[in-house]
C-alpha cells in the first residue's frame, strides 16, 4: 500500500469508530427481511432465498453458527441464523456433522445450500474472521460487519478475504454489510469480496467496502474466467487502492455505486470481461475504469456516470484507462428489471442505505431511501412430479457427440457413468447434494429426461431442479427420480441438480430425449 494511503487510514478508521459507537439497534422484525428482496443477478438461475421457510436460530458465537449448520436434517434443509455480538477466533471452533463441513477460525459455508446469516439486535461483527463460501448455493449474508481479516501475520483467516467464494458457488446475495480492513497486502490483508473458480449469480448490494488495498475480484487469474453474472449496486467503495472490482472474464452489472478515494485504479475489466457501468458517482479518485496491469483487454458499456475530480493516467503498456472521456466498447444485455437512481443523488442515497445497521433501507429509483419491501413470489416453477413410465425414442445421452460433467463427485464415481448405458456404474456427489449434466457440441432439442438411480439407492434423490446449462434457467423442479418432462428446449447442456436427498444419491443413468 502506498504511504499516502496508510496515512489516511488512521483518520478513516477513527471516523468509522465514531460511527460504530452511534449504531442504532436493529430490531428482529427488521432482520426478518433477510430472506426477501434479492436483486440483480442473484434473482436469476432460480433465484436466491437463503433459509426462507426453514427454522430460525440465534447465535452469539462462531461455534454456535457452526452448530446450527451441523444440526440440520441435511445440508440443504433451509435455515436462518440470526447473529448478535462479536464473532472471533476465540469463539469459533470446528463442529462436525453429516449436514456440515466446518473449520475453526473461519465461518465455513461449505458443500451446503439454503442458508441465511443475518445480524440482529445490537449488530453482528466478525472480527479478524472471514466468511468462506465453497461448493454451495442459495446463500444470503445480510446486516453484518466483517473487519480486519488477515492472510499473513496473526491471526489469519479465510486467506485474508472478508467474504470469499470459490469452487462451484451459485446464487449468493450479500446485502447491507460492512467490509473493512486497516491496510493493504503489506499489512497482511487481501480482498474484501472475492469470487473465483466457477462462482456465478451473485449480488452485492447496499454495502460498504473501505480502508483496504483491494476491494475484490472476479477470477483469481487470467485463466480463471468461469465466474460471472455479478451485480454491484448502491455500494460505497471508500479509500481503496484497487480492484473495485477486478473482473477477469464474465459479465458484471455495476450501477448506482459511490466511489470515493480510489487511490490507484477502480473497475478493472480484463481478460475478456464485460461490465455494464451505469449511473455511478466517482469522486476524488484515479483511473476509475479501464484495463490495468495486463495486456488482456476487457470491455465496458457506460452511461450516466459522474466523474467528480477524477484523474486519468496516459495510456501506456499495461495501463489502459477508459478516460478522460469514457466511451462504450461493448454492449451488455441485462436479463432482470432494475430502477436507476440519478447519478447526482447517489452519494446521498448510498450514505443513508449502505452498510450494516442501516435498517435495511433500499432505493426504488426515486433518490429517496425506502424501508425493505414485502416477501417476493418464489421464482422457481411449480414442482413437477416424475413419471414412472419409461420414455420411448432415442436416448440422446448415448450419442457419440454427447459428454457429461458436474459438481464434485464422490470417490470411485465418474460423470461419464451416467451415459454409458450400464446400470451397475454411477455418479454420486461428494455430499448429499450436487449436479450432473449431459452436454453436446451443438444445440440439441430436449423435452424429457429419465433419471435412473443405482441399485440399492432407490428413493435417495429428494428435491431437484432441471436447468438449461447454457443459461442457468430453471426448466422445471420437483422431487424423486424418474421421467421428467418440460417444454422442448434447444440447448448444448442440460443439468439435473439435486437440492435435497434422503441418504447418498447415486445416478446410474441420465437419459435425454427429444420427445
Which are the catalytic amino acids? 243
Tell whether omega for the bond before 125 is within 30 degrees of 0, i.e. cis: no
Best CA proximity match to 95, nearest among 82, 106, 83, 80: 106
Reported as type and span, the H/E element at residue 15 is helix 3-21
* 3-class DSSP state of 235: coil
* Grid cell locating 289: 475504469
What number of other Cβ atoms are within 10 A of residue 32's Cβ? Answer: 17
Upper half-sphere CA count for residue 23 (Cβ side, 13 Å): 22
Question: If phi over 0 gives left and psi between -120 and 50 gives alpha, with beta otherwise, what is residue 46?
Answer: left
* Grid cell locating 497: 441438480
What is the C-alpha separation between 515 and 513, in angstroms, rounded? 6
What number of other Cβ atoms are within 10 A of residue 149's Cβ? Answer: 31
Q: Using an 8 Å Cβ cutoff, are 45 and 474 in contact?
A: yes
Q: Using an 8 Å Cβ cutoff, are 464 and 497 in contact?
A: yes
Best CA proximity match to 153, nearest among 176, 123, 185, 112: 185
Best CA proximity match to 59, nearest among 33, 38, 31, 40: 31
What number of other Cβ atoms are within 10 A of residue 512's Cβ? Answer: 24
Amino acid at each position: 500500500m502506498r504511504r499516502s494511503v496508510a496515512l489516511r487510514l488512521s483518520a478513516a478508521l477513527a471516523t468509522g469508530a465514531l460511527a460504530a459507537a452511534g449504531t442504532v439497534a436493529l430490531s428482529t422484525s427488521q432482520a426478518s427481511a433477510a430472506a426477501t428482496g434479492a436483486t440483480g443477478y442473484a434473482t436469476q438461475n432460480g433465484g436466491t432465498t437463503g433459509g426462507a421457510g426453514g427454522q430460525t436460530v440465534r447465535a452469539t458465537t462462531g461455534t454456535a453458527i457452526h452448530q446450527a449448520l451441523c444440526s440440520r436434517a441435511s445440508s440443504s434443509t433451509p435455515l436462518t441464523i440470526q447473529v448478535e455480538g462479536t464473532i472471533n477466533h476465540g469463539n469459533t471452533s470446528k463442529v462436525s456433522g453429516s449436514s456440515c463441513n466446518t473449520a475453526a477460525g473461519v465461518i465455513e459455508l461449505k458443500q451446503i445450500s439454503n442458508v441465511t446469516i443475518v445480524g440482529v439486535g445490537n449488530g453482528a461483527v466478525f472480527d479478524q474472521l472471514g466468511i468462506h463460501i465453497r461448493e454451495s448455493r442459495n446463500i444470503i449474508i445480510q446486516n453484518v460487519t466483517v473487519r480486519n481479516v488477515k492472510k499473513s501475520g496473526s491471526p489469519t483467516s479465510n486467506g485474508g478475504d472478508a467474504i470469499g467464494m470459490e469452487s462451484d458457488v451459485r446464487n449468493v446475495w450479500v446485502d447491507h454489510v460492512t467490509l473493512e480492513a486497516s491496510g493493504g497486502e503489506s499489512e497482511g490483508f487481501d480482498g474484501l469480496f472475492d469470487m473465483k473458480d466457477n462462482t456465478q449469480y451473485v449480488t452485492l448490494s447496499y454495502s460498504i467496502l473501505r480502508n483496504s488495498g483491494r476491494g475484490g475480484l472476479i477470477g483469481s487469474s487470467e485463466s480463471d474466467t468461469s465466474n460471472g453474472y455479478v451485480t454491484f449496486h448502491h455500494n460505497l467503495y471508500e479509500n481503496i487502492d484497487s480492484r473495485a472490482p477486478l473482473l477477469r472474464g464474465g459479465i458484471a452489472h455495476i450501477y448506482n455505486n459511490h466511489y470515493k478515494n480510489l487511490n490507484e485504479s477502480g473497475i478493472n475489466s480484463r481478460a475478456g470481461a464485460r461490465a455494464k457501468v451505469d449511473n455511478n458517482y466517482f469522486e476524488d479518485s484515479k483511473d476509475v475504469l479501464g484495463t490495468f496491469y495486463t495486456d488482456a483487454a476487457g470491455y465496458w458499456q457506460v452511461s450516466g456516470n459522474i466523474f467528480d475530480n477524477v484523474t486519468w493516467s496516459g495510456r501506456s503498456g499495461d495501463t489502459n484507462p477508459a478516460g478522460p472521456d469514457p466511451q462504450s466498447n461493448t454492449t451488455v444485455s441485462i436479463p432482470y428489471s432494475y430502477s436507476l437512481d440519478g447519478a447526482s443523488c447517489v452519494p446521498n442515497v448510498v450514505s443513508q442505505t449502505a452498510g450494516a445497521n442501516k435498517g435495511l433501507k433500499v432505493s426504488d429509483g426515486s433518490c429517496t431511501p425506502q424501508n425493505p419491501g414485502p416477501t417476493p413470489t418464489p421464482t422457481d416453477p411449480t414442482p413437477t412430479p416424475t413419471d414412472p413410465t419409461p420414455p420411448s425414442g432415442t436416448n440422446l445421452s448415448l450419442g457419440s457427440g454427447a459428454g457429461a460433467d458436474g459438481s464434485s463427485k464422490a470417490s470411485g464415481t465418474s460423470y461419464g457413468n451416467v451415459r454409458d448405458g450400464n446400470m451397475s456404474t454411477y455418479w454420486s456427489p461428494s455430499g448429499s447434494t450436487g449436479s450432473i449434466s449431459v452436454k453436446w457440441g451443438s444445440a440439441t432439442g430436449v423435452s424429457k429426461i429419465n433419471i435412473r438411480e443405482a441399485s440399492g439407492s432407490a428413493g435417495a434423490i429428494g428435491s431437484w431442479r432441471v436447468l438449461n446449462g447454457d443459461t442457468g434457467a430453471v426448466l422445471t423442479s420437483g422431487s424423486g427420480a424418474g421421467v421428467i418432462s418440460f417444454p422442448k428446449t434447444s440447448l448444448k447442456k442440460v443439468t439435473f441438480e439435486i437440492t435435497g436427498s434422503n441418504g447418498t444419491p447415486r445416478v446410474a443413468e441420465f437419459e435425454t430425449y427429444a420427445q
